[in-house]
Chain A
Amino acid sequence: MGNGTRLGRVRGLGSSHHGSGHWLQQRLTALGNILLVGFLFVSLMRLPLADHGAVLRWASNPTVALALILMLVSVFWHLRLGLQVMIEDYVHGEATRLLALVVLNFYAIGGAAYGIFAIVRIALAPAALGPGGM
């Protein structure tokens, strides 16, 4: 086996056709964040946040619950992309960087799953049992 053609040797290096995907996903989730975090911000400003019952009624509304789930997906995907770039820029050493990226993925996917599960618990909690009755 030779070393292949010049094209063959560089194929898969460089952007590997992933760079523009990363860039585009960051913009698309940014757009989602503007709408969904904007909705959360306005809601938090208007809610009596110390009142558990009132906040729970708000969060268990199907439209609100859906918006919150979409927000968690958009936010955690966006922060995964952003923190990935930060790690790639500042964490040197292959092993440390790989470890940091693994931890980042655990954090992003685990955090989003935790949040989505919390919303599902709130939205699907049997009303008869009252708040937190599961």
Chain B
Amino acid sequence: MAGNEPNARPRSPHLQVYKWTPAMAVSIFHRVSGDGLAIVGACMFLWWLGALAAGPEAYAAFIACVWHDPDAGTAHQVTNILGKIVLIGLTWAFFQHLFSGLRHFVLDAGAGYELKTNKLWSTLVFVGALFATAATWLYILQGTFNG
């Protein structure tokens, strides 16, 4: 705080001053992805569920807004793109939070704290989440183009 401590001393955990390592990154991204799912993901799901319960017209309006509108006006062209961006983001957040959460279960059991092991699995959480997101959307888009 006074500015004359040795640099090697631990610093307070603010993102601006914290040294970025895989382990701290996976921790902050656990929170970011979790909060994203909790707010955007849960609201999207409730919107979809409410439209499903409200009937065919409401459901068609939801699909036209978020995914695809056969006779799209400008507004729906924009929301269709935004909808896909949000859904891709939610897919990533889902896998990031899932894999990171599984890592937490291992840590809770008292395992995986060795520096190299911790770094390896933290990195694999990011790689796995990106890979699973890419695989999911390749599967979805391949279905869209073929069907």
What is A's interface to B at a CB cutoff of 8 Å? 27, 30, 34, 37, 41, 45, 49-50, 52-53, 55-56, 59, 68, 75-76, 79, 82-83, 86, 111, 114-115, 118-119, 121-122, 131-133
Cβ of B94 under 8 Å from chain A: yes
Partner of A132, one of B49, B54, B94: B54
What is B's interface to A at a CB cutoff of 8 Å? 31, 34-35, 37-39, 42-43, 45-46, 49-50, 52-56, 58-60, 63, 67-68, 94, 98, 101-102, 104-105, 108, 136, 139-140
Provide a sorted-by-A list of 19 A–B residue pairs whose CB atoms are within 8 angstroms.
Answer: A30-B104, A30-B105, A41-B94, A45-B136, A50-B68, A56-B52, A68-B49, A75-B42, A76-B42, A79-B34, A79-B38, A82-B35, A86-B35, A111-B42, A118-B52, A119-B53, A131-B55, A132-B56, A132-B58
State A118–B45 Cα separation when bound (angstroms).
11
- The answer to whether A52 and B49 have CB atoms under 8 Å apart is no
Given contacts A45-B136, A50-B68, A82-B35, contact A115 B63 (CB under 8 A): no
State A53–B94 Cα separation when bound (angstroms).
27
State A9–B42 Cα separation when bound (angstroms).
42
Q: Which residues of B contact A114 (CB under 8 A)?
A: 46, 50
- The answer to whether B53 and A121 have CB atoms under 8 Å apart is yes
With contacts A50-B63, A118-B46 known, what are 20 further pairs, Cβ within 8 A?
A: A27-B105, A27-B108, A41-B94, A45-B139, A49-B63, A52-B52, A55-B59, A59-B52, A68-B49, A75-B42, A79-B38, A79-B42, A114-B50, A118-B50, A118-B52, A119-B53, A132-B53, A132-B54, A132-B56, A133-B55
Task: Specify the main secondary structure of chain A where it touches its partner.
Answer: helix
- The answer to whether B34 and A82 have CB atoms under 8 Å apart is yes
State A55–B101 Cα separation when bound (angstroms).
30
Given contacts A27-B108, A79-B42, A111-B42, contact A118 B94 (CB under 8 A): no
State A56–B53 Cα separation when bound (angstroms).
8
B51 CB to closest chain A CB, in angstroms?
9
State A50–B62 Cα separation when bound (angstroms).
10
State A76–B41 Cα separation when bound (angstroms).
11
